[in-house]
Each structure stands twice: as structure tokens, then as C-alpha cells.
Amino acid sequence: MKTYFVTGCAGFIGFHVSRRLLSEGYSIVGADNLNDYYDVNLKQDRLKILKNHKNFYFYQTNLENFAAVEKVMQDHPVHTVIHLAAQPGVRYSISHPQTYINSNIVGFFNVLEACRQHQAAHLIYASSSSVYGANTKMPYSIDTNVDHPMSLYAATKKANELMAHTYSNLYGLPTTGLRFFTVYGPWGRPDMAIYLFVNSIIAGKPIKVFNYGKMRRDFTFIDDIVEGITMIINKIPQPNPYWDGKQPDPSSSFVPYKIYNIGHNQPVELLTLISIIEDNLGRKAKKEFLPIQPGDVPETYANIDSLMKDVGFKPQISIEKGVERFVAWYKNYHNISL
């Protein structure tokens, strides 16, 4: 069975991807720095589950250290790299910009360089819906120009796509970038809206409702994301023979490079989400209505036609079912009975 290198394996998406591939018998080499951007205990608890598998190998390391990335690739016959480690968060990037340069730019360069030197068969990496920035045409399409980011976080993700293309061009490294749209579900990040809302409602604290509740997000359940990633692993990008430099397609190239949106394709208004959470908790939220935050956008909405066409991706979990599953996990994990 093949060996996959999953960076950010103790993070939300990295944990779920690793667990899925381990359950299918693959070997996983995982790397994570276990930083304290959010509760380290949650990361450790995810890691404990992964360590129950005999074919899981863990390295606690920072990707900004090239020697550490190089050691992983030297120690293991890695076939595909699934790069999910990054410093996330639009708002945090305003107060901690250097962290994003170190993790998302330097760290990504080191992954690219290690893939080149060890001739990885495929690099799959996390981009973000944030790259669409100031675009207002909905749904967001991979054919759209994404040169107007609204935050440094978005700019680093756009930079990752450009860096990947460079390595695909210069060294023939097959790269696939996945623009994630608001991923949620069990074991999710505590800094994300659904987790924050559930936490505050249970505690009887007010929730912050930005843009006065008129935000719309393409909430995508984690199981759908994992399914999409596993579909992509063996869909190694090929040069597009129809690519035309006079009318360049931003999502493909004359080199082995591809970009996909991976979302639910059904945006949900924030007030609707809150109502669904209230129904699942049997409690009403105390709402604090606020203007939109700097760097944020009022709506995200994924056009997923390309991913559907190429690998048959189709999201299965509705927002109602997804929130129900998240709340059930939250109550169990935190030992709460309502």
C-alpha cells in the first residue's frame, strides 16, 4: 500500500483525512507543530486516535524548518503529499501577519522543495475560498481572476497557487490546489463560527453576529471534504492540451497543474445557521449584531462543476444534518447533557 505524507495531521481536516486513509490500510506519515493557535488538547486528542493505527508515523515539527521536512521524505517512501498545514484565519492575519509568512509561504516553499527533490508523484495542497477576495460574481468559479485579496491570509493562499504552478512548470511536479469553503463538523476548529456559536449558546453568552446576520457561507461538512480529497489523490493533473496563453484558463495550465473549488454549492445565511443550531440545542441565542469585520467578505458560494466533472464529487451532507452531527459530537466530547 502507498505511503502518504499529511502535513497538519493533528489539525481539523488533516486529522479526518489521515483517519480515512488509515482505515483503508494506507500508511500515513503525519507532521504537525501542535501550536497553540487554538486548544492544543483538542489537537492532542485527535492525535491519540491516529496513533492507535500501527501504520501511522508522527513527526512533531515546524515546516519552516527545511531539514525537518527533508528528514520525513528521507525516512519514508512517500508517494503523495497532502499539504494541509497552514496558519488559518482571516482576522488573526491582521494582528499576526508574520506568522502567515512563516507558515504559509516559507513552510509551503519547503514542502514544494522536498517534493521536487524526492520526486513526489502528486502534491495536493489546501488553498481557500478567501482567494476570491473582492469578487462579487456568484458562484465563485475557478475560471475567475483572483488578484484582489482582502486579507494577508488570502494573499498567502493565492501565493501558494502561484508557487505551485512554478514548480509544476520548472520541475514537472504535479500539483492540485483545493479551494476549501467553510469546512465544519466533528473535531472542528474552536475558532470557527459553528463551534463558537454552540459554545456560547450553551454557556448563555451572547454570540457575535457580523454584518448584522447578512453573511452567507458555503458551509461544507468535513465528510464531504474528505471524500473529495480521496477522489483527487489518484487524479494526477496532466497538462491541458487546449490551454491558450492568449486566453489563459486560471484553473489549469500547459503543465501538470490544477485548481478546484471544493464546497457544498449551497450558501447559507448566518441567521439561518443560528436557527438550526438553536433547534439542535433547544435554546435561543443571545445575539450581538455587529458590522462586517476588516478583511471579511459578505458571501462565499462555490461553483463545483469542474470537480463534479473530473472525479464525480457531489456533497451529501445538508447543513441541517451536518449541524446535528456536530452538536452531538460537541456534547459527547465536552461531556455535556442538555
Backbone angles phi and psi of 99, in degrees to 5: -60, -35
Which residues contact residue 275 at a Cβ distance below 8 angstroms, ignoring those fewer than 6 apart? none
The Cα–Cα gap between 143 and 126 comes to 18
212: DSSP letter: G
The single-letter code of the amino acid at 65 is N
The Cα–Cα gap between 211 and 200 comes to 19
The per-type count for the chain, helices as H runs and strands as E runs, is 12, 13
Residue with cell 492507535: 52
**Residue 328 CB coordination number (10 Å):** 12
Which residues contact residue 146 at a Cβ distance below 8 angstroms, ignoring those fewer than 6 apart? 131, 132, 133, 135, 158, 250
Indicate the pairing of strand 122-128 with strand 268-269: unpaired
Tell me whether residue 249 is exposed, middle or buried, using C-beta atoms within 10 angstroms of its C-beta: 0 to 12, 13 to 18, 19 or more.
Answer: middle
Element (H, E) at 282: none
Contact 29, 57 (CB under 8 A): yes
Set of cell numbers at residue 163: 508557487
Enumerate the active-site residues.
153
The Cα–Cα gap between 313 and 231 comes to 8
Backbone angles phi and psi of 325, in degrees to 5: -70, -40
- Distance (Å) of CA 330 to CA 174, 204, 334: 38, 16, 6
